[in-house]
Amino acid sequence: MLNLFRTQSGPIRFPSVVASSFCVALALASQAASAAEVTVFTDRSVTLKSAENANVVRLDEAQEIEAGLAADLPADPHRAQAIVQERLKQGGARLQRDLASAWQGVADAWSLSVSTVPAVVVDRRYVIYGETDVARAVARIEAYRRAQP
């Protein structure tokens, strides 16, 4: 018998089979708790499947935000500058965060040498290109990782 816990009335004892199962479950739970970091680099043209648990980075998002800021500007550069400044002011901190986040995604893709979209990246180390089903891409990476010593 294995003494895993102690209460005020004494130790709680588990049969060794239960204790072994508990240890296996604990190991699996800790593995799940340290689940892989999944990031998908994509753009608006790609429809993803099973991306609920992934960080999705749209690489064209920064350009879309900037295009919105530059939409319908007059030809006069001074008036155009004033309008863009007003749009930036109206967007406030949220617009600044969105723009910074969008450009950070581009920088992350560049630092990981992502060359094609969609790219499913696991733990910033493994990548599957061209797979729109994120769960399938992650399963392929996990199978590869299990096969490696």
Pairwise CA distance, residues 130 & 149, whole Å:
27
Q: Residue length, the chain? A: 149
Closest CA to 49 of 102, 118, 107: 118
Mean pLDDT in the chain?
A: 83
Closest CA to 59 of 93, 96, 101: 101
pLDDT digit string, tens, across residues 14-53: 455 444 444 444 444 434 434 689 999 999 999 999 999 9
Task: Using the CB atoms, write b or e for 85-122: b if 16+ within 10 Å.
Answer: eeeeeebeeebeeebeebeebbebbeeeebeebbbbbb
pLDDT at res. 73:
95
pTM: 0.71
For 92, phi then psi, to 5°, come to: 60, -150
Closest CA to 132 of 145, 119, 122, 121: 119
Pairwise CA distance, residues 127 & 120, whole Å:
5
Q: State mean pLDDT over 77-101.
A: 94
